[in-house]
Amino acid sequence: MLSEQEIVRREALAQIKALGIEPYPAAEYPVNAYAADIKENYNQAEEEADRNYQDAALAGRIMMKRIMGKASFAELQDSTGRIQLYIARDTICPDENKDLYNKVFKKLSDIGDFIGIKGKTFTTKTGEISIKVSEFTFLSKSLRPLPIVKEKDGEVYDAVTDPDFRYRQRYADLVINPAIRDTFRKRTLIYSTMRKYLDTKGYLEVETPILQPIYGGAAARPFKTHHNTLDMTLYLRIANELYLKRLIVGGFEGVYEFSKDFRNEGMSRFHNPEFTQIELYVSYKDYYWMMDMTEEMIEQVAIATNGTTKVQVGENVIDFKRPWKRYTMYEAIEHFTGIDISEMDEDAVRETAKKLHVPTDPSMGRGKLIDEIFGEKCEAQLIQPTFITDYPVEMSPLAKKHRDKPGLVERFEGICNGKEFCNAFSELNDPIDQRERFEAQLELGKRGDEEAMTLDEDFLRALEYGMPPTVGIGIGMDRLAMIMTNSNSIQDVLFFPQMKPEANQGKEEDADE
């Protein structure tokens, strides 16, 4: 069923065609100016001829019409912003035939239509820089009405806030809430800042398989698929760690990849089934070096996206200025609970967890219990960027044992705004130790841990050829983007977040036929 407004627009389309006007022309429209540039640079002085925009040609959507008889105003929204158009009947229709104004503009053009206009820039008597239109061309007729958002003095009226609408119809959201484009521009700026930083250091951006016969590199449940020709099960990667390490074995000194990873787990405002990490591996370095590098790189990201190291996130101002705080995991737990668990055995840690009202279950080993205590009692309180170091070995089957703290690995996580956003370690490169760790994981799997890692023989073969000492890091790009853009939900930093299927999609499609 078409709404009244949709029927009206289809009728307008038919009338446009009946007037011999092509509503979807093929030819290039020669744009020579943009709304934001004109507003910023317009200068009517004679000697500023290059900045007076007297032959401006713009293209964009009509976003507002104010019809006033023989002259009207409209707002044109292009990729840079909006500018007011002044459309006088006798200017666009110098001859006897006033159809272009009376019919085409006043009746047949709608909010949302793409048009091209040519005209002279001037300032109205109320001081608004506007274009006096001399030519008006349909570029694309819009058949579906956009919700209209109005604004005055910075206050927005009738803003479309329905998240369902915004996420499902992001294309419309971007049109009517153009401020969100900034969020996505910033997201891209985060990528380009990091890419520039890493390229300058000489590291190689690479691509590795998304379809993997054995998923590894993290603890998570995968999406499973099937390749017909090879008749084999393939998994969508949950991480790319093991492939990047193979490239370190192959002799690259530094490799990185912005990688879409896939985890078949719950969704929340911090989780989307597909998400992006950057993983970076550098040989001959250790996790101390990586902490320094991470601070420097993320500080640059903050400055690039916010102009300063200080970023407003919710109610907090987070300062990414180096150096960040560093706690070992034991120190962090002692700091927030007053209890030193570093010397405790598994039973004592379990008792401590119970005393702190941290939920436990019998399958948890000492490492998992410590991780739970940290997650419950410490993580949410770490607002400013902080490195937590030296994790229990049980939790980190790919990390190198600590050079002088038994039972721990050389690992750190970066925490910010109460959430982990990166995870790094001095990589385990002892192939015999690595095999034992994988075997321990297999044991955990037998005990019912669905996220236990599987044993990857090919990866072990690579390690046996020899991998240099290497440090690696994974940074959650979506989480980083949330922080840098002050977004409360991962859905706000993904153009097309995963959604449940639309309830009446089938019906709608039938109606469209």
**At how many degrees (to 10) do helices 366-377 and 346-355 cross?**
20
Q: Does 179 bind RNA (CB under 7 A)?
A: no
Nearer to RNA, 220 or 455 (CB): 220
**Length of the chain, in residues:** 513
DSSP symbol at 454: P
- Rg of the chain (C-alpha set): 29
125 vs 446 by CB, closer to RNA: 125
| 429, 468 contact by CB (below 8 A) | yes
Q: Exactly one of 21, 36, 88, 455 binds RNA (CB under 7 A); which one?
A: 88
Question: Among 19, 148, 204, 348, which residue sits at the site for RNA (rule: CB under 7 A)?
Answer: 148
Number of residues near RNA (by CB under 7 A): 82
Q: Strands 129-140 and 81-88: what pairing?
A: parallel
Whose Cβ is closer to RNA: residue 249's or residue 493's? 493
Locate 417 and state its tokens.
């705004």
Cα(227)–Cα(314) distance, integer angstroms? 45
Q: Which is nearer to RNA, 253 or 420 (CB)?
A: 420
Residue ranges in 39-58 that form contacts with RNA under rule CB under 7 A: none
Among 78, 173, 241, 372, contact with RNA (rule: CB under 7 A): 372
Report the candidate in 342, 470, 335, 328 with the shortest Cα–Cα distance to residue 406.
Answer: 342
* Cβ proximity of 250 and 468 under 8 Å: no
Q: Which stretch binds RNA (CB under 7 A): 43-51, 128-136, 252-260, 279-287?
A: 128-136
Q: From 46-54, 154-162, 285-293, 384-392, give the range in contact with RNA by CB under 7 A.
A: 154-162
- For residue 327, the surrounding DSSP H or E stretch is strand 325-328
Q: Which of residues 250-289 bind RNA (CB under 7 A)?
A: 263, 265-266, 268-273, 275, 277
Q: Which of 130, 212, 283, 441 binds RNA (CB under 7 A)?
A: 130
Q: What is the phi/psi pair of residue 370, to 5°?
A: -65, -45
Near RNA by CB under 7 A: residue from 68, 179, 230, 232: 68
CA diameter of the chain: 95
Query: Taking the complex as a whole, how short is the minimal distance between the CB of residue 282 and RNA, in angstroms?
Result: 20
Tell whether residue 161 is a contact of RNA (CB under 7 A): yes
Shortest gap between Cβ of 404 and RNA (angstroms)?
26
Interface segment toward RNA; rule CB under 7 A; list 24-32, 34-42, 80-88, 305-313: 80-88
d(CA 176, CA 148): 7
382-421 positions binding RNA, by CB under 7 A? 419-421
Q: How far apart are the first and last CA of the chain?
A: 11
In the window 421-450, what residues touch RNA (CB under 7 A)?
421, 423
Q: Which residues within the stretch 322-361 sit at the binding site for RNA (CB under 7 A)?
A: 359
Is residue 472 a contact point for RNA (CB under 7 A)? Answer: no
**Contact present, 358 and 351 (Cβ < 8 Å):** no
Identified binder of RNA from the candidate list 40, 55, 99, 128, rule CB under 7 A: 128
**Which CB, 444 or 462, lies closer to RNA?**
444
Q: Determine contact, residues 493/187, Cβ cutoff 8 Å.
A: yes
Residues 6+ apart with CB under 8 A from 494: 272, 478
